[in-house]
Amino acid sequence: MNSIIPLQNIDIDYNELVQSDRAHTSLYKDEKIFDDEMEKIYYNSWVWVAHASEIPEGGSYKTMNIGKQPVVVVRDRKKKVHVLLNRCRHRAATVCEHKKGKTNSFVCPYHGWSYALDGSLRGVPSPESYGECLDKSELPLVSLRVEEYNGMIFASFNHDVEPLEDFLGAAKKWIDLFMKQGAGYPVKVLGEHRFTFPGNWKIQLENTTDAYHFPLVHKSFLSSVDEKTEELFNFDNQPGYVEDLGNGHSVMVMIPELVDLEEELMERPIQERFEDLAQALRDEGHEELQVRRIVRAVGGSGFNLNLFPNIACSMAFFRVMQPISVDKTEIHHSVITMDGGPQIANQYRLRLHEHFQGPFGFGTPDDAEAWERVQKGADAGNDLWIMLNRGLPGEVKTEDGLKSDVSAETGMRAAYQQWKKLMTA
Amino acid sequence: MKIDLNLLNEVTAFIWAEADMLDHYEHEEWLKLWNETGVYIIPIDPALTDYENNLNYAYDNHHMRQLRVNRLDNGEAISTSPKANTVRSVSRVRIVKDDGDEIILRCAQNLREFRKQNLKHYTADVTFHLIRDTEQGFKINRKIINLVNSTDTLAGISYIL
């Protein structure tokens, strides 16, 4: 009998389940492992919760889950962001059921306990029955640790977790590069596609750093774009790469010339598919340099930055991951626009997002089909492994970590090593 | 309330034919039902009706409709193999506006999809903007499909709603 197959009531040896070039199939299927992941990763590490533009003003909020726990992400009147457990301290009812909005306070609908935007308990109806036995200062909405880097807001249940900037490390400069797609305007999230697939969250985590699947799974998308764009998306013909950035983060550079969106703006020609947009912007009176900056930004960055465990800055959108259960995952693809930027340019971005993303897009349904098949296939062969050895022979050391060719599984290896580190801590 | 039963019959027959074409994958015929400048829209948030400036599930002009049909028919997409079987019922048709040039009508659509092991159900409030056409009676200027669960998470849909 293979001793590394997890059994109920026996401690799982996570060191054995993730090796340098493979991960065990049970990582997709075992409910005990999923429960441990919630505790050791989602309730311990930094988890992305929002982009600053989603809660722009005092009183703006959004609700979401961190792991399986509902939270409210809210900005108070002094503009400080709080991440609060969405649970009344009286008898546990959620205090907010809207996806997003603006409010002055959170009032529990069950017995009317009311909380300020920073989570403090303000009032309880008919307090006399409590006499001296209720100290409101002891019962605020539970507050998580919150830090922000370049508009990316993260939270952690672990108040002793390392500073966010240390956790992001080498990924920070890639976040800065990604934000250049505001073209000088603030980056703004304007809605999202939300969908589920019947599979484990790590299948999607792998996919964001997987260029290998693109020409095959997205053949129908590539057939729907013009020849030049199809060429641009032919990652094999370009000197792209995948780099392990430490702490489970990685970057996959598919289109090296679109790493820095502000590089050689005047020197390089405008992509054919954006000629009409460029002319429309000129007609609106924008200077040629700004026209080119906006047009370049509309097409998005030439890389996917995968931040462990739940967020990716992926070409022109944020990919947010929400594990639901061991075999069900929710994904959000948030569209990024230029706040106050030219309307026509933002319309281009919206239409490009709709073209590929979402349950009705030309890309996402095919991804979802592939992931669903992974989960289903993983029911066969309980002692088999998920192979992650692609690109190993060509892997070289870099200043930030390790690097290999564009279709290497270097980014997945990085994520699974971080997984192992947290699961064995 | 006075109902123009002749017009109601005419538009109902037209949208029933449209529904039948989609269930039977007669996409080329379906494309011909459209006005060249028409837009096919599946909104996410029903409250955001400035569709052009907001994110939708689909905002297909003539070009995108043609591309979508190509994608669904050319066999390249793994989510279309096997194809989904769909049967949709269209009912509760009400003409909300008829100004001579354009007729706006609302109807209810219940669609059942079966693909692999899964039977799924999509209910939508659908609005059509039709213009009169001498050859085929009407052409579609706009079709807006408001799924009752549009703000919830959906699964992949590789056919035309």
* CA angle A382–A383–A386, rounded 5-degree value: 95
Give the residue carrying structure tokens 């959170």: A106
| Contact between chains at B54 and A190 (C-beta distance less than 8 A) | yes
Cβ neighbour number for residue A284 with a 10 Å cutoff: 12
Side-chain half-sphere CA neighbours of B161 within 13 A: 30
* Same domain as A198, residue A63: no
Report the pLDDT value the prediction gives residue A4, as an integer from 0 to 100: 61
Which residues in B have their CB inside 8 Å of a CB on A?
Answer: 42, 44-45, 48, 52-59, 64, 67-68, 70-71, 74, 76-80, 151-158, 161
Residues A286 and A349 in one domain: yes
Name the phi and psi angles at A241, rounded to 5.
-160, 165
A13 in a structural domain = no
Q: Which residue is listed with tokens 């109807």?
A: B107
What is the CATH classification number for the domain harbouring A353? 3.90.380.10
Q: Characterize B58-71 residue by residue with b for buried, 16 or more Cβ atoms within 10 angstroms of its Cβ, and e for exposed.
A: bbbeeebbbbbbeb
Whether residue A337 sits in one domain with residue A302:
yes
Pair (A358, A401) in one structural domain: yes
Decide if pLDDT at A364 tops 90: yes
Question: Hey, are the CB atoms on B153 and A195 less than 8 Å from each other?
Answer: yes
Q: What is the mean predicted confidence (pLDDT) over A7-18? A: 80
Task: Name the residue ranges covered by the structural domains of chain B.
Answer: 5-147
Considering the domain architecture, whether residues A220 and A294 belong to the same structural domain is answered as yes
The residues that bridge with A194 in the sheet, in sequence order, are A332
- CB nearest B77 (choices: A330, A335, A366): A366
Average of per-residue pLDDT across A311-325: 97
Nearest to A354 by CA among B30, B35, B54: B54
As for how many domains chain A has, the answer is 2
pTM, rounded to two decimals: 0.95
Q: Detail the DSSP E strand segments found in A228-354.
A: 241-246, 249-253, 303-307, 311-314, 317-325, 328-338
A187-245 pLDDT per residue, tens = 999 999 999 999 999 999 999 999 999 999 999 999 999 998 888 888 877 899 999 99
Mean pLDDT by 10 residues, chain B (161 residues): 93 98 98 97 96 98 97 95 96 95 96 95 98 92 98 94 97
Mean pLDDT confidence for A85-103: 97
What pLDDT is stored for residue B95 in this prediction?
A: 97
Of A171-175, A260-264, B97-101, the range with the lowest mean pLDDT is B97-101
Nearest chain B residue (CA) to A331: B153
- pLDDT tens readout for residues A102-152: 999 999 999 999 999 999 999 999 999 999 999 999 999 999 999 999 999
Q: A353 CA to chain B: closest CA distance, Å?
A: 8
pLDDT band at residue A264 using 50, 70 and 90 as cut-offs: very high
CB-based contacts of A351: which residues, under 8 Å, 6+ apart? B59
A36-63: per-residue pLDDT in tens? 999 999 999 999 999 999 999 999 999 9
Reported as type and span, the H/E element at residue A175 is helix A172-178
A397 and A248 belong to one structural domain? yes
Q: How far is B51 from chain A (nearest CA, A)?
A: 10
Percent of chain A past pLDDT 70, that is, above it, reads 98
d(CA B99, nearest CA chain A) in Å: 30
Contacts of A355 in chain B (CB under 8 A): 64
* A315 has a pLDDT exceeding 90: yes
Rounded to 5 degrees, φ, ψ at A94 are -65, 145
B98: helix, strand or coil:
strand
> What one-character DSSP code corresponds to residue A87?
S
C-alpha dihedral over A229, A230, A231, A233, to 10 degrees?
Answer: 90
Residues A351 and A222 in one domain: yes
Strand pairing category for A69-75 and A60-66? antiparallel
Query: Would you say residue A1 has pLDDT above 50?
Result: no
A337 and A400 inside one domain: yes
Query: Which of B53, B74, B153 is the closest to A343 by Cβ?
Result: B53
At which of A132, A156, A180 does a domain end? A156
Q: Which domain holds residue A206?
A: 170-423
Checking if the pLDDT of A2 tops 80, the result is no
The answer to whether residue A6 is domain-embedded is: no
Residue pair A108/A140 in contact by the 8 Å Cβ criterion? no
Residue at which a domain ends, from A107, A127, A156:
A156
Mean pLDDT (chain A) is 96
Do A302 and A180 lie in one domain? The reply is: yes
Which chain B residues contact residue A97 at CB under 8 A?
Answer: none
User: Is the pLDDT assigned to residue A328 strictly greater than 90?
Assistant: yes
Decide if B76 and A223 are in contact by the 8 Å CB cutoff. yes
Tell whether A273 and A363 lie within a shared domain.
Answer: yes
Query: A156, A188, A214 — which closes off a domain?
Result: A156
A104 and A226 co-located in one domain: no
Determine, yes or no, domain membership for A310: yes
Average pLDDT value over all residues in chain B: 96
| Closest chain A CA to residue B82 | A369
Q: What is the mean pLDDT of residues A252-275?
A: 96
On whether the B5-147 domain is CATH 3.30.110.40, my answer is: no
Cβ separation B58–A366 shorter than 8 A: no
ipTM, two decimals = 0.96
CB A212 within 8 A of CB A328: no
Rounded Cα distance between B31 and B128, Å, is: 15
Task: Write the CB contacts of A283 (distance below 8 Å, at least 6 apart in sequence).
Answer: none
Average pLDDT of span A255-272 = 95
- A243 and A321, same domain (yes or no): yes
In B, which residues are within 8 Å of A221 by CB distance? 71
